[in-house]
Structure formats: C-alpha cells, structure tokens
Structure 1
C-alpha cells in the first residue's frame, strides 16, 4: 500500500484540511496506476511544515534512550543524491545528502502512514543483515508530527539513521515522494533509482529488489 502525496502547489486551505485528515485516511484509497498498491490521503504543502521542530527535548531524550544510529555525513563531494542539507531526526548532525555514496537504500516515510510502519521491520532486518554492503537511511518527509515518526520507528526496532525533510526540500528532485512509503536506491555510480512505491513485507523482498535494481548479489 502507498499513501499519495499532494502537489506543492495546492492552495493553503486544501493543505490545512488535508493535514487534519491524515490520521484518518492513512493507507486508504484507490488502486495506484504505478502498481505500488493503493493511493490514499494527499499531504499538505511542504512549505507549511518548514518550521517544524524535528528535535524537541522529548525526541532527543527518546532517541538517546534508543539504539538509533547517529547521523553522519558521507565522504563524497557529489555521490549522486541531491545537495540538500537535512536535519537529523531526533537531534544530531545535519547532513548534506550529496555526501553519501552508493550503494544505499533511502526510505521516505511518515509517522501516521500505516504501510510505512508495517515495512519498518523488513527494512531493519535488511539493514542488520546487509547494511555493511548496502546501508539504509530513513527520511521523514513533509511531516508535521516528526515525534510520532521517531516514536513509531523506535518502537519497531529501527536503528538505521533517520533524517527529516518537513519543508519538502526534496520534492521535485530525484528523491520526490509521490506517495509514502517510497524507497529509492543509490548505485555505486551515483544513479538514483526507484526501488519500490509501497510497503515491503520482508527483508527478502527488499534484498531481491535491491539486487535487481543495482545489479548486485548480496
């Protein structure tokens, strides 16, 4: 299942009404033409979320008490991802995504997205099993309640680093979130490819998709 995101050009009134409906409509909708599952509630314009605090004292404390890994930049000057600096979800070092090199799995999610939560254990198991070869990072996208996203991830055992893009800085680029969850992969040559639009149910499914998209064997 996927949850469709709205256009950044929606009028403010529609955006506000959409935010109020997120929790009710998550995971609901009609069949997606992309074959990724179902499309549901559109999301508010990212501009309305740009001032959201992604590292409140409560979030910082929750992260510190968990096993979530610290956010650290990569060593590349231009590894293929957009040159956008994102804050670390729950506090930590902000990172320019362009510093990351592939192979890498990039999962776009939200806290109130049911299929996002359902696929977290699959991504975590993949990270634990294959993270030395293909790491995983998460990005909480265009979300007005990042504390929920962090709480849901921690409760499901997620330890891979997570970042936040409350203002929709990635929209319109190679990591555009047309729905949540959406997962991309970055190849070792710097090419960004769509891995899956919609939730993944097992680490084996993640592995098979990564092998297929990157042309590697894990």
Structure 2
C-alpha cells in the first residue's frame, strides 16, 4: 500500500513540478482511493448491502440500509484503537478470522451499487462478506478480481472510532504469488468493519477499472 501511494505522490509532484504539501498529499489520497465524500466518488459507489448466513434454515440478515457516515452502524468497538492518518500506512493489522476456513458458500450478499451513475443490485455467495461481494462483482458486473493483501487499522478514538481497511485486488491473469505483477489497492473507512472492507474492495475495483469500458452492459 505504502509503495503504491508513494508512486501516486511522485507522479503528482512530477506533473506539478513542485513539492507536495501535506494538504496536497491528503487530497491525492482521497482522489486516488475515493474517500471523503461524493466529490471523490469513483465510477463504482457502494450504496447499501445485506448479508445472510445460508448455512442454516434459521439464518438472519445483517447489513446496512444506508452507507452515509451518519447512519453507518458500528460493531467494531473494542477491536480498533486510535490511529492517525499517517499511521494508517504503517501500523500492523489486528487478527482477522480467515474466510477460507469457513464452509463453501456460507454467506450470501445482496448489494446496491451505483455504476457510472446508475443503480444496480448485485448478489453473490462465498465464505464471507468479501468473497461473496467479489462473487457478486464477477457474476453481475463481469469484474473478476481476487484479494492478494488485506489489512485492518483504526481511525479516531472513543465514540468516533472507525475501522480502516486496505485491500489489494488482482485480476484473474495475475499470479497472486508474483509480487512483480502489480495489483490495485483500495481503502475503505466506516464505523462498521464489514462495510469498511466492502468499501475498500469498491475502491480497488475503481482503480482497476480506470476509464476502461465495463465488461457488462450497463444500459
């Protein structure tokens, strides 16, 4: 993540021909990873999601009806600690349960996502929320991506604490073990840890897409 963002800063500095200020760096971070409000939105924007445990008949749904900062639900208290913006890129990740240890297709996600300004509902299944969401992106939007790196950190303190998630996605033709083959980093910040992870996936998917046409018909 650090190396990827350093390249962003270096490129911006070369374009402007001047040294980047802390304000310039913060703006570049928000623009690159689509953080800080609708002004920085990418082509893909996660609007809401619901996850369902499909391992038992009595499964219940979990999710968030609205991902605006004022309505996000927090389930992360006690797991995250205060962290400054500068520390986000270097702090170690807390322990995280591996989705690969769960039974196949134990979760189903239904998400509403804006694609180039048009709202779409996508559905996928997997071992957990992230793998289910990646399945939905592939099945309904034609984006075949997988996770190579994943870390969680914290922002703020007390009642304002939020989870910050950093994820590197790679396309299907990239060997996950070959670090010389570049991936696409994304960042998500939310009071809800699951929402933070999904936002990070969307952020990385936006980096992968760039200005390229979407694989599916968005009409």
Higher strand proportion (structure 1 or 2): 2
- Same fold, TM-score > 0.5, yes or no: no
Higher relative contact order (CA 8 A, sep 6+): 1
State which structure, 1 or 2, has the greater radius of gyration over its C-alpha atoms: 2
TM-score, normalised via structure 2 length: 0.25
